[in-house]
Amino acid sequence: MTFISRLVFGATSLVLLLLALGLMGVGLMELTKAGTGTVDAAGDAILAALGYVIIAIAVFDVAKYMFEEEVTGDHEKRGAAVARRSLTKFLSTIVIALFLEGLVIVFRTARSDVALLGYPTALVLVSVLVLVGLGVYQRFSASVEEKVGDGDEAAKQKEDAEKAAVKRSTA
């Protein structure tokens, strides 16, 4: 079952990677339109291209995270600190993409109709909430790790070194 699971996650990661490349291609096509129109049309095309590239980065990061965690990852040897670092890297990329996309939409909307700024503002606020949630998660998980300990690689290496020292001293 593990092989099938890894195969499915690997294929899904590959599809997401291809879709991210497709989004980047659409972004590049938008840029080609930027040079063929008026200054306003060029600005809109550049903002659209930027939005596509930002979404492509987020999709690529999801694919990378899925591949690293589900296909190549060793779940039995994974400690809480490793999981926390991995989740933090993943969510940090998503938060950055949300902020950037929110800013792009704010600029695009402000150019056309200022009355429609509610959605972009909500997107930026949700980005802030996700960032605050990540900070809360970091704080609580780090304090729990300090209290209960963790099977992190550094801790394992230290423990193995201490055991080896004890064996050498008793031998």
Which residue ranges make up each domain of the chain? 1-73, 79-171
CA angle 136, 138, 144 (to 5 degrees): 100
More confident residue, 83 or 127: 127
- How confident is the model over 108-139, as pLDDT tens digits? 888 778 888 888 888 889 999 999 999 998 88
Length of the chain, in residues: 171
Q: Is the Cβ–Cβ distance between 125 and 106 less than 8 Å?
A: no
Lowest mean pLDDT among 97-111, 118-132, 150-164: 150-164
pTM: 0.65
- Assign 159 a pLDDT band (cuts: 50, 70, 90): low
Let me know: does 82 contact 24? Beta carbons within 8 Å. Answer: no
- DSSP string for residues in 11-64: HHHHHHHHHHHHHHHHHHHHHHHHTTS-HHHHHHHHHHHHHHHHHHHHHHHHHH
Question: Between 92 and 129, whose confidence is greater?
Answer: 129
**R_g of the chain, CA atoms, integer Å:** 23
Asked if 56 and 74 touch (Cβ cutoff 8 Å), the reply is: no
72: DSSP letter: S
